[in-house]
Structure 1
Amino acid sequence: MRALKHCFKLLTAAALCSLTLLQPAHAEAKKEFDIAWSIYVGWMPWPYAEQAGIVKKWADKYGIKIKITQINDYVESINQYTAGKFDGVTVTNMDALTIPAAGGVDTTALLIGDYSNGNDGIVLKKGKTLAEIKGQKVNLVELSVSHYLLARGLDSVKLKEKDIKTVNTSDADIVSAYKAKDTTAVVTWNPQLSEIKAEPGAALVFDSSKIPGEIIDTLVVNTQTLKDNPALGKALAGIWYDTLKVMSSTGADGVAARAAMAKLSGASSASFEGQLKTTRMFYTSAEAAAFTKDAKLVQTMELVRSFSFDHGLLGANAPDKDFVGIAFPGGQTLGSKSNIKMRFDATYMTMAAEGKL
């Protein structure tokens, strides 16, 4: 899944704000844009779109140029976006809040691509139910969406984080860590999750399908850049939904597109198709826009911002979870209305749904 290495993420709000000094106070109208992405099943449409000429098609329509740049480390891609090196980046809802938004970069979730619907899970060697995790050491990437999933899972069985001990383990090492004799519990994401579940005696006791719609994968862009360059929003939405139309096809073109995406991600077609089954893709702009406008998103972000503040992810200077304001379609907000730095905007998804791109 997303290669979260959150030991790198623990930048203070002050440090992140210093990164924003590299950016101009205001963006401006321009013709060339750069979007960063990292490998994850729900984000593979971006490199495929570039390879298939879909990026050029829509960029040409609006008289602009769009570059799609792969960054091998997920958190590094977000940090570079925060520093102003990219106009947009593929990112989860939690990380958009805790890195650029908490760092002072006004950021808009332009496209809601999917949510994890089983891609993230908790696996035990000892025990068959989540309640049996009590007292165990749990290997995971701390302060990541895995940590969030663990917290939500523990809450479902009336346990607290003090009832277990977390062991910070990189995503690259999580499979080998699980195989170690003294490891009894892990939290991870696909494709590592699938590999671990296949081990003898492994018991999947909780996964993201139990908290549908909470681990959300998005494309965010700099809010000022989008304001000054609405053509960018239109082109990106056009690219995305053109590509998803092919990706979701049951015909030969869809099979070929998904095979190409699998190859670009370094996975087999079978593995990629398996990951898609545990990913709730929003293949149409109408359903993506509806999800973004749904009041449940506000409830989700309340959970996310509470977790983020409790774990120090809104920065050392954040006095409470209201420090960073979050805006939603229809004018609803969470947190500080004078410091809104994260915005869920259904404008361009709605335009796509209405055929207005």
Structure 2
Amino acid sequence: MKSLSTITKLSKLAVLGAGLLATPVAAQEQTEFNVAWSIYVGWMPWGYAEDTGIVDRWAEQYGITINVTQFNDYVESINQYTAGAYDAVTVTNMDALSIPAAGGIDTTAVIVGDFSAGNDVVFLKDAQSVADIEGRRVNLVEFSVSHYLLARALDSVGLSERDVSVVNTADPDMVGAFQTDDVDALVTWNPMVSEIAALPDAVPVFDSSMVPGEIIDLMVANTDVLSANPDFGNALAGIWYETVILMASDTPEGAEARAAMGAVSGTDQAGFEAQMAATQLFAEPADAVAFTSSPDLGKTMDLVREFLFDKGLLTPNATSSDAVGIELPDGTILGDPNNVRFRFTTEFMQMAADGAL
């Protein structure tokens, strides 16, 4: 999954504290919007749409301007969004809750784009199953989705984090670390997964396909900005679905798009398509609506918020996982109804499904 190599518990809490101290500013109608994205298979369409004029075409349709900026540092893109420099950002469900939402920034998931279906993997050496992880030092990016995947893997065999030792490791160091004698357990995401899987002693014992629908990739926007400017959400949905339908198509144009996205992400068309195969991409808006409307989403967000509370990442003073409210598409609220800061909506995806954009 995305790079969280600069994250530590202390820096996370610093971001949250800054958000809590920020003075809310009422959003107004505006004509120019800033969108941030970072490199990952499920978010490459945003860069391609910018490069090929799809962004400008949809923005012009709604009489607005949308500036799309690529960040090499995933965490920095979220921090910049949380600080108000950007109106929307690509982010996972876990990080949307733990950084902007927990930091006091009311945030809405405009596009539910995909979920990881094998892009995130637990690797062991000299092992046959995930149960063999007991007693080992596990290298991963602490407090990232890799940490969450480890928790789910341990739970699947009746273990807990007390049964292992977590070693915080930067994502660029993962492949090299696994090739040393000191490392025999590791959790990471693509493209590192593909490189490690090719090593002769790497045994994949658990991956995100075993917890389907839990590691979700989103385009979120500031709720106040979105409420004051619904055409911004309409344009984002139009951009996304035009681009992903093209990307997923079995056509020369689709192959060209996949090759271009692969090149930008540091691989080739075949490598990019391998990552796509480990991603449940919602190219059709109706599929995204069905996933987001499912009761399973509430169950997933319960797991996520419990994990974040356990790690001390739901505001510094949280006394339970209810500290930050999460609103689901049917209006159900998980947590504090007086502090709803993370919302899921099907509004814009449904408009795309209805051909109403």
Q: Cα offset for 1:315?
A: 2.2
The equivalent residue for 2:246 is: 246
Residue type of the alignment partner of 2:239: I
| Larger mean Cα displacement after TM superposition, 154-163 or 6-15 | 6-15
Q: Give the distance between the partners of 2:74 and 2:243, measured in 1 at CA.
A: 22
Q: Give the distance between the partners of 1:223 and 1:15, measured in 2 at CA.
A: 19
Q: Cα offset for 1:19?
A: 4.0
Taking a change above 3 Å as real, the CA distance of residues 122 and 15 of structure 1, as seen in their structure-2 partners, is closer
- Secondary structure, aligned partner of 2:68: strand
CA contact (8 A) 1:48 1:261 kept: yes
Matched, 1:216 2:220: no
The equivalent residue for 2:58 is: 58
Q: Cα offset for 1:181?
A: 1.1
CA contact (8 A) 2:17 2:316 kept: no
Q: Cα offset for 1:319?
A: 1.2
- Secondary structure, aligned partner of 2:111: strand
Matches within 5 A, 1:6-25: 7-8=7-8, 10-11=10-11, 15-19=15-19, 24-25=24-25
Q: Give the distance between the partners of 2:6 and 2:117, measured in 1 at CA.
A: 22
Q: Give the distance between the partners of 1:11 and 1:223, measured in 2 at CA.
A: 25
Q: Give the distance between the partners of 2:278 and 2:19, measured in 1 at CA.
A: 36
CA contact (8 A) 1:110 1:221 kept: yes
RMSD: 1.3
> What count of residue pairs does the alignment treat as equivalent?
357
Q: Cα offset for 1:128?
A: 1.6
- Secondary structure, aligned partner of 1:206: strand
Residue type of the alignment partner of 1:164: V
CA contact (8 A) 1:55 1:66 kept: yes
Matched, 1:114 2:114: yes
CA contact (8 A) 1:126 1:185 kept: no
Matches within 5 A, 1:29-44: 29-44=29-44
1:55-113 Cα offsets, whole Å, 9 max, x none, are: 01100000000011011110111011000010000000000000000000000000000
Taking a change above 3 Å as real, the CA distance of residues 70 and 312 of structure 1, as seen in their structure-2 partners, is same
- Secondary structure, aligned partner of 2:338: coil
TM-score by length of 2: 0.97
Q: Cα offset for 1:14?
A: 6.7
Q: Cα offset for 1:126?
A: 2.4
The equivalent residue for 2:196 is: 196
The equivalent residue for 2:154 is: 154
CA contact (8 A) 2:146 2:188 kept: yes
CA contact (8 A) 1:329 1:345 kept: yes
Residue type of the alignment partner of 1:352: A
Q: Cα offset for 1:306?
A: 0.4
- Secondary structure, aligned partner of 2:25: coil
Residue type of the alignment partner of 1:30: Q
Q: Give the distance between the partners of 2:140 and 2:281, measured in 1 at CA.
A: 25
The equivalent residue for 2:4 is: 4
Residue type of the alignment partner of 2:149: L
Residue type of the alignment partner of 1:274: A
1:255-302 Cα offsets, whole Å, 9 max, x none, are: 001111111212111111100000000001100011111100000000
- Secondary structure, aligned partner of 2:337: coil
Q: Give the distance between the partners of 1:245 and 1:158, measured in 2 at CA.
A: 41
- Secondary structure, aligned partner of 2:28: coil
The equivalent residue for 2:262 is: 262
The equivalent residue for 1:88 is: 88
The equivalent residue for 1:339 is: 339
Q: Cα offset for 1:13?
A: 5.2
- Secondary structure, aligned partner of 1:302: helix
The equivalent residue for 1:68 is: 68
CA contact (8 A) 2:133 2:164 kept: yes
The equivalent residue for 1:324 is: 324
Q: Cα offset for 1:10?
A: 4.0
Structure 1: gaps (5+ residues): none
Q: Give the distance between the partners of 2:139 and 2:98, measured in 1 at CA.
A: 22
- Secondary structure, aligned partner of 1:232: helix
Q: Give the distance between the partners of 1:179 and 1:126, measured in 2 at CA.
A: 13
Q: Give the distance between the partners of 1:168 and 1:11, measured in 2 at CA.
A: 14
The equivalent residue for 1:279 is: 279
Q: Cα offset for 1:8?
A: 4.7
Residue type of the alignment partner of 1:224: D
4+ residue segments displaced more than 3 Å: 8-15, 19-24
Q: Give the distance between the partners of 2:250 and 2:149, measured in 1 at CA.
A: 32
| Larger mean Cα displacement after TM superposition, 345-354 or 3-12 | 3-12
Q: Cα offset for 1:5?
A: 2.2
Q: Give the distance between the partners of 1:5 and 1:62, measured in 2 at CA.
A: 38
Q: Give the distance between the partners of 2:16 and 2:177, measured in 1 at CA.
A: 32
Matched, 1:292 2:292: yes
Q: Give the distance between the partners of 2:320 and 2:19, measured in 1 at CA.
A: 23
Identity %, equivalent residues: 56
The equivalent residue for 1:78 is: 78
Q: Give the distance between the partners of 1:175 and 1:14, measured in 2 at CA.
A: 30
CA contact (8 A) 2:19 2:100 kept: no
Q: Give the distance between the partners of 1:281 and 1:20, measured in 2 at CA.
A: 34
Q: Give the distance between the partners of 1:155 and 1:21, measured in 2 at CA.
A: 36
Q: Give the distance between the partners of 1:112 and 1:143, measured in 2 at CA.
A: 22
Matched, 1:352 2:352: yes
